Structure 1
């Protein structure tokens, strides 16, 4: 038996004050599935020092709650089966959850392509209305929640639901179809824990400790931690970060920097609203940063007061300055901005308010009820913010950095809000579908994914399988060999998975949609994720042609493949298309290819010295290399040896 120590894990398990009724972590609930065939951690919160006894499937164990009330014990392994009752008791109370099964528990996580539900995917009506109820496949969705520190518990208790016509439609399609496919060969109960948030970056799902191991996140983590103890200082610090970003782009224009209020400003329409509807050609389809300015004049008596700065909703991120000092930054188009100002923040006379509104897609700007834009002083005086002006930030160089507390693109925010409350709830594996938000940051993605997989294994089996859905096709076709941020991110995913003996890749480039970042064929995504899981488990299945090497032989480059189901095939032609050969300077040219057994032989263009070979290198690549099992070849870039 083990007593849970204080620290991050203990914080994750603290479900509330000692008077709370639940002894068990909220994932232990009616209809839950717990992990089979390995020691079962059971944990929760009791009164400090209380003896806690747990009974499950004919097994009993006892431990003592720590000084913070957190407790944990490990029950002996239970084979697949049930249903059982799980009971935790102390001298002061007892909690029993019923209809608990032992089986395979999988965590499904990522961004919108994991979040996309069955009722929004292809063949939705048929899949929902003709489903056979399956009590041995149970699902739970974790409520969306972000936090700047590990949450003490779930804001909304998770609810386990058996699969039925009434429950499956709103659940993750990729996760459901993945488990449905696996259950064809593993006739045991399955429990699916779904924790996703559309638009999220991988950094948001990782703890500060994991990010520190990758490196490069110390400043962001320090600013995030500062926001917990001194939010005013943290906002000021973040304001300086945005200033540094702007100054690097405009090194000779600091005298007219936006936060100073100087420089050229254009009157904005009364009431503001999303800028795409202003009738300004330059803003009709603009995604990027627009700076807004308003001024307010105060008396000396007014300026001495504390105040609250209200800005209403901003689509989708802001960095806000008062008299050149950062006072707030928020991400989320649905959120009203309300920034407290300590006494001394204002000054007698004219005060200049500047807001950087950063929009990445669709509508942007300060929208919603204009009456919410006001400065409210401590004595109740309300000063409306009117007569706004604006200036458009040129789209040059890198986009602005995101605040470390940004819900979706910050550091550790979703780890804190959605993963940490799960504590050490045992599971069999992880299905991960994420990466779109990290496009453009491919150089850091492979080490981040490696560290993320390692962190998800901490406290679980050391060989916990991780299956990763590679990015699907979306965006531009390639008419000439060229750079592609999406292709580079796919390559980072491939490298991280290839280097991990307990990870597998599901290739989806052939079932994407160039015009929709959310392709609907999630049944095939689930099937390919299941193939990857089965291969990791040692089953005799293949997951699609994967490159092994690229060798220069005379006037050819021979690319060897493994993981071929049957044989390599080129669809629609006796030639293989989609390959490029790149010289040491980075100039790439299409390469003619022919299949020879388990290899593709590429002809080296005359006068070329190939240094790298790459395949399916575009946002939406055109290619025809598959295996006879119908699986596409993995997009890749390899050094030519």
Structure 2
């Protein structure tokens, strides 16, 4: 009896050991690899996963086969040579102790779409959401969404998510801004588009930045020190620096991507210069992850709440928008201005079509070098004092400056005899007055009878600059600005 019992225990232990070894040895791919995915064209393509330490792994795609050996932690990685765009589905085969096949893999352009609730806002909730969803039959657009709102004090290797073909039954819950951005790219570039959504409403920018990102910016040393002190037992939440990055961004790296679009800032709305530093940290940290030349385009916050009649402005998100504009000094970045399509009573404007389209203008112009496309509305460049008036010059004048009017999803219309609004002017006494502003060629001349010797101008520099109407002929609005530093 004792012999039989010992044999039973020995056999059970042997079976358990074999099962455990089999489970541990099973070759696995990173979370971002699944059927119906898109691989980035014209760039080296990392493919990675896990296996038994020392195991030989073969990765085959098309005519390429690359090999790797799993390291002491079981991680392996190969790099495919750059590929050209291809809308025909192919197989990615990974072979070790077991074989994995990823089917219907396209080659094209991949973008990550991230931020808080206005990026998370779904297609079905956008203007004409039902019609947009029903019409979203785009087999060459593929969607990957990181579900749930998760955090971690340390970087995670995996996250949930699966690629889906863009269809009416899959697009409804995906980021509306991301989808409309991708739709425009696919229409213009005629290549497959992969969109990777990772979003969380109500979040600040700090949780999305990697620990290394904080170290890149000296002004953020205090946050860098805080994150460095994290251990696996540190309790973190949705507002903790790097906590969302660790759980919802790091598992995607080092997937090859062309660029990122970002819509966030409301939860940092009381900031100014500090948000500029945090944007530097975000961009640099994500470029380390995905692509050192990652295009990075963000949305300047929309007009919101009731307008003020104080010509000095400076209320609400004025300084945050200024920081977003200042961050354009980071190479290969751009900003979609949307102060003309917000809603005074709703922090979530439903017009996401124009937001996605304006982001795409930047990507097409700068990342894809389509120089004939004007990427933005007028951006303040310089001022020149001319006696009792100030002449303002701008970048991105395009076909010329106009007084414009934007209604819903309709294109901006030029108001032929219209008057420019929301310009204020001040002298050395720093007292602001509403000003008369007129378009003169590619510049704007600003003056006021109340200011004999002007020194500075402000435009649309308030939480809701309702009535701001300087555009270029391409229908894109001028960004708010001020020429003073008071």
TM-score bin, normalised by smaller chain: 0.7 to 0.9
- What are the equivalent positions in structure 2 for 1:176-215 lying under 5 Å apart? 176-215=179-218
User: Is 2:475 aligned against 1:630?
Assistant: yes
Structure-1 residue corresponding to 2:315: 484
Structure 2 residue matching 1:167: 3-state secondary structure? helix
Distance 2:470 2:253 in 1: 43
Structure-1 residue corresponding to 2:407: none
- What are the equivalent positions in structure 2 for 1:539-558 lying under 5 Å apart? 539=370, 540-542=372-374, 543-558=376-391
Structure-2 residue corresponding to 1:355: none
For these two proteins, the number of residue pairs brought into alignment is 446
Q: 1:159 to 1:593 in 2, by over 3 A?
A: same
Distance 1:194 1:149 in 2: 21
Distance 1:427 1:221 in 2: 26
Alignment match of 1:62 (pick from 64, 67, 84):
67
- What are the equivalent positions in structure 2 for 1:489-528 lying under 5 Å apart? 489-497=320-328, 499-528=329-358
Distance 1:152 1:192 in 2: 20
User: Is 2:47 aligned against 1:42?
Assistant: yes
1:180-213 Cα shifts (integer Å, max 9, x gaps):
0111110000110000101111111001221132
Structure-2 residue corresponding to 1:569: 402
Structure 2 residue matching 1:184: 3-state secondary structure? helix
- What are the equivalent positions in structure 2 for 1:413-562 lying under 5 Å apart? 413-481=243-311, 482-497=313-328, 499-536=329-366, 537-539=368-370, 540-542=372-374, 543-562=376-395
User: Is 2:166 aligned against 1:163?
Assistant: yes
Alignment match of 1:581 (pick from 412, 420, 425):
425
Structure-2 residue corresponding to 1:614: 458
Structure 2 residue matching 1:560: 3-state secondary structure? strand
Are the counterparts in 2 of residues 23 and 89 from structure 1 also a CA contact under 8 Å? no
Structure 1 residue matching 2:359: 3-state secondary structure? helix
Structure 2 residue matching 1:511: 3-state secondary structure? coil
C-alpha RMSD of the superposition: 2.1
Structure 1 residue matching 2:187: 3-state secondary structure? coil
Instruction: Please give the TM-score of this superposition, normalised by the length of structure 1.
Output: 0.67
Distance 2:292 2:229 in 1: 34
1:566-624 Cα shifts (integer Å, max 9, x gaps):
22112455432111224556543222111001100011554565443221111110212
Q: 1:141 to 1:460 in 2, by over 3 A?
A: closer
Which one has a bigger Cα radius of gyration?
A: 1
5+ long unaligned stretches in structure 1? 1-16, 235-404
Distance 1:460 1:443 in 2: 26
Distance 1:476 1:57 in 2: 58
5+ long unaligned stretches in structure 2? 1-21, 405-414
Are the counterparts in 2 of residues 476 and 618 from structure 1 also a CA contact under 8 Å? no
Distance 1:55 1:218 in 2: 44
Instruction: Please give the TM-score of this superposition, normalised by the length of structure 2.
Output: 0.87
- What are the equivalent positions in structure 2 for 1:387-426 lying under 5 Å apart? 405-407=236-238, 409-426=239-256
1:438-461 Cα shifts (integer Å, max 9, x gaps):
111222111211221122222544
Shift of 1:79: 0.6
Structure 1 residue matching 2:310: 3-state secondary structure? coil
Are the counterparts in 2 of residues 574 and 594 from structure 1 also a CA contact under 8 Å? no
Distance 1:414 1:163 in 2: 26
